[in-house]
């Protein structure tokens, strides 16, 4: 049986309009053979997690460059845990200071990427993570 492609929900929570990075990454993931559900702008954490649930996604990727990363990542992670998606990867990128990345990592959020990081690093990270965390 053919292997299922990795499914990634990509969204921009909050009011940040900078979608260049999210779009470039979404395309790189597709070219790497993953399935991407691109939600676009102005998403609430609730809508993002609902989409991930409906799509049975392996990964949620958030892009935030506006400085509002803490409450959004926190809320999305909470909702994932509550709705039975605690075993899926929450990752993302934007302008996120190292200190905040560490706090988020302590809450179970995956690796976060920043300016200058190559999209291929994200592809490799997601592949590796999914391989190491087979679904029960």
Partner 1 sequence: MATAHEKTQNDLRSTPVRDAEYTTVSGRPVEPVYTKADVPHLDSTLPGEYPYTRGVHPTMYRGKLWTMRMFAGMGTAAQTNERFKFLLQKGQTGLSTAFDNPTLYGWDSDHPLSMGEVGKTGVAVDTLADMERLFDGIPLDQVSTSMTINAPAAWVFTMFLANAEKRGIDFAKLRGTLQNDILKEYIAQKEWIFPPEPHIKLITDLMAFCSENVPQWNTISISGYHIREAGATAAQELAFTLADGFCYVDHALAAGQDIDDFAPRLSFFFNSHLDFFEEIAKLRAARRIWARHLRERYKAKNPRSWLCRFHVQTAGCSLTAQQPEINIVRTALEALAGVLGGCQSLHTNSMDEALALPSDKAAEIALRTQQIIAFESGAANVADPLGGSYFIEKLTDELEADAEKYFEQIDVLGGMVKAIERGFPQQEITRSAYEYQKAVSEQRKIIVGVNDFANEGEELVIPILEIDESVEREQVVSLRKVKEGRDNLAVKDRLEKLERAARDNRNLIPYLLDSCRVYTTLGEIRQALVKVYGEYKEQAFY
Q: Counting contacts by CB under 8 A, is residue 32 touching partner 1?
A: no
Collapsing DSSP states into helix, strand and coil, what is residue 86? coil
Does residue 67 belong to the site contacting partner 1 (CB under 8 A)? yes
How far apart are alpha carbons 97 and 92 in whole angstroms? Answer: 13
Q: Does 16 bind partner 1 (CB under 8 A)?
A: yes
Query: Minimal distance in Å, beta carbon 100 to partner 1?
Result: 10
Kindly tell me which residue out of 6, 7, 8, 14 binds partner 1, with binding defined by CB under 8 A: 14
CA atoms within 13 A on the CB side of 110: 22
33 binds partner 1 (CB under 8 A): no
Taking the C-alpha atoms of residue 40 and residue 45, their distance in angstroms, rounded to an integer, is 13
Write out the two tokens for 131: 């391989």
Nearby residues of 128 by Cβ (< 8 Å), 6 or more positions away: none
CB of 131 to partner 1, least distance (A): 22
Question: Could you list the residues that contact partner 1 (CB under 8 A)?
Answer: 10, 14-20, 22-24, 26-28, 36, 38-42, 44, 66-72, 95, 97-98, 114-116, 118-120
């Amino acid at each position: 049986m053919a292997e299922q492609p990795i499914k990634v929900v990509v969204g921009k929570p909050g009011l940040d309009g900078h979608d260049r990075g999210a779009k470039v990454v979404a395309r790189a993931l597709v070219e790497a053979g993953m399935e991407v559900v691109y939600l676009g702008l102005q998403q609430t954490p609730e809508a993002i997690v609902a989409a991930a649930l409906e799509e049975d996604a392996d990964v949620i990727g958030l892009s935030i460059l506006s400085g509002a990363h803490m409450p959004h990542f926190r809320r999305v992670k909470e909702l994932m845990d509550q709705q039975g998606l605690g075993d899926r990867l929450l990752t993302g990128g934007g302008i996120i200071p190292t200190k905040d990345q560490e706090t988020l990592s302590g809450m179970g959020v995956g690796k976060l990427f920043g300016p200058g990081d190559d999209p291929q690093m994200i592809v490799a990270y997601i592949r590796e993570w999914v391989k190491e965390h087979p679904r029960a």
